Chain A
């Protein structure tokens, strides 16, 4: 089934640890995104990539990094996790900029 796969589905992480959230899409979409979802704040963009080899910062990029080595994969790395990064993280993709997203099922991350 075509779509977006995120892993892990949930994780409890000690503060200060490094963590990579994985995202893979099989729709050959050019653009990919990482959002975090927090209660009362909706969805906020962390980083995006318009095409393989390029990335950009979103609304809340601090503490996060991304890479886009190929079309299908867009991992999100927390170099040194802090409790404020406790959230649900969604990866999304779209055929091009400004077109409705397809979202993954999310990764629930708890930093303790």
Chain B
């Protein structure tokens, strides 16, 4: 099955700086890559996703890039704010499949 690796496991940045989280996947058939944000005591929330026919997608301060050849994708958060502090999960799936394979999460701390 699919194996998703996520790095780093923890990340601290100063407010206003950028944060980058990277994930790699093993199954070349995977074609859908969502990112989730999980705040303490809450369920994960979808923040952005990308399909394999697109190389980059942006939504305000958040962007995701995908390199299908290298089988990796990254989350970029610009102008970070304290409310961006959370655990972020990447995932990979086959668009018609039943299962998302999640990375192990990155705990992001934005220091005011």
Contact = CB atoms under 8 A, between A and B. Distances in A.
A40 B104 contact: yes
Q: How large is the interface on A (under 10, 10 to 19, 20 to 34, 35 or more residues)?
A: 20 to 34
Interface in B18-70: 32, 34, 36, 41-46, 49
Nearest to B45: A103
Nearest to A47: B98
Contact of A45 (B42, B43, B94, B100): B100
A97 B43 contact: no
Contact of A97 (B49, B97, B103, B105): B97
A105 interface: yes
B43 A105 contact: yes
A42 B89 contact: yes
Contacts of B45: 103
A98 B94 contact: yes
Contacts of B43: 4, 90, 92, 103-106
Contacts of B104: 40-42
Nearest to A108: B41
Interface in A6-48: 31, 40-45, 48
B105 A100 contact: no
B14 interface: no
18 contacts: A42-B6, A42-B102, A43-B91, A43-B100, A44-B102, A45-B98, A56-B98, A58-B98, A90-B43, A98-B32, A98-B97, A100-B46, A100-B49, A101-B46, A103-B36, A103-B45, A105-B41, A106-B43
